[in-house]
Amino acid sequence: MECKNCQTRLKVESDFCSKCGAKVIRNRLTIKNLFNYSLETFFNYDNKFFQTILNLIKKPKDVIDGYVNGIRKKYIDPIAFFAISVTISGIYLFIIKKYFPELYDFSDAFGNDSQKEFGKKITDITTEYYSLLNFTIIPALALISRIVFFNKRYNYTEHLALFFYTMSLFSVFSTVITLLIVLVIPTKLMTISLCLYAIFFLYHCFVFKQIFELSFKQLLIKTILFIPIFFIFYIGLSILVLIIFLATGHMNLQDFAPPAS
């Protein structure tokens, strides 16, 4: 018997290829095993998806530091986890745009009709490019983290892995919570969204404290360093995104013109 993926010779009783690790498929394709295989692939065998989420919450050092130090089979890798989070966010945004478009329509917060149109355009762009914007901020956060924790053992790529894990967790968690809020108490959406960002900040403090074994004083100093650098990067990134949108025609200078008196 040969592996159908890499043509390595296998024993008849083998369930997995000894060379490439692929599962040996003996049955014909049916609706049932197609569905089961898709679930296994998406959630990465043995419920690793849920194990990754659970342990990122309880003991993030085990997941992140383990991956950095070479443990690659116990949990989903950070890029795959990010891809799953983007998929879940995409489904969420589709549901919101399709069934609850008024929840993210902030045009009424602007004055005249032209300003309302500008507000609607900002909302539409943010929603449409949410995943791209989310992806863009991860390298920036990793760079800030590398600067702040310059005296620690993580290099830039390892900081990237850290934020791919934590940002993906936040994306999955906030998507599920927000959708529940939308369905049950939509009037509290903005309040709970702000609470989620506070939790997001505190969670990262918890992650860094665990991974770098910081005392409370060290954590406080690093946080004080991180926040102003983050806002500088955030402003710079916002300007860059604005320039890209102007260059690609998604926005134009007339959008920023003051209303006619």
Mean model confidence pLDDT for the chain: 82
- The whole-model pTM stands at 0.76
- % pLDDT > 90, the chain: 34
Q: Strand, helix or coil at 152?
A: coil
> Is residue 118 predicted with pLDDT exceeding 90?
no
Q: How many C-alpha atoms does 172 have within 13 Å on its Cβ side?
A: 18
User: How far apart (Å, rounded) are the C-alpha atoms in residues 86 and 172?
Assistant: 8
* pLDDT band at residue 40 under the 50/70/90 scheme: low
What digits encode the pLDDT tens for the residues 56-90?
999 999 999 999 999 888 888 999 999 889 888 88
Q: How far apart are CA 224 and CA 142, in angstroms?
A: 17
In which residue are the tokens 């959708």 written? 179
Q: Which residue has the higher pLDDT, 158 or 22?
A: 158
Residue 25 has pLDDT above 90, yes or no: no
Domain boundary assignment for the chain: 1-41, 44-256
**Residue 17 in contact with residue 3, Cβ under 8 Å?**
yes
Segment holding 12, helix H or strand E = none
State which of 68-77, 104-113, 166-175 shows the largest mean pLDDT. Answer: 166-175
Residue 131 has pLDDT above 70, yes or no: no
Residue 154: the pLDDT is: 94
Residue 7 region by backbone torsions, left for phi larger than 0, else alpha for psi between -120 and 50, else beta = left
Q: Does the structure show a pLDDT above 90 at 168?
A: yes
Tokens of residue 178, six digits: 């927000």
**Least confident interval from 148-152, 182-186, 194-198:** 182-186
Q: What is the pLDDT of residue 188?
A: 83
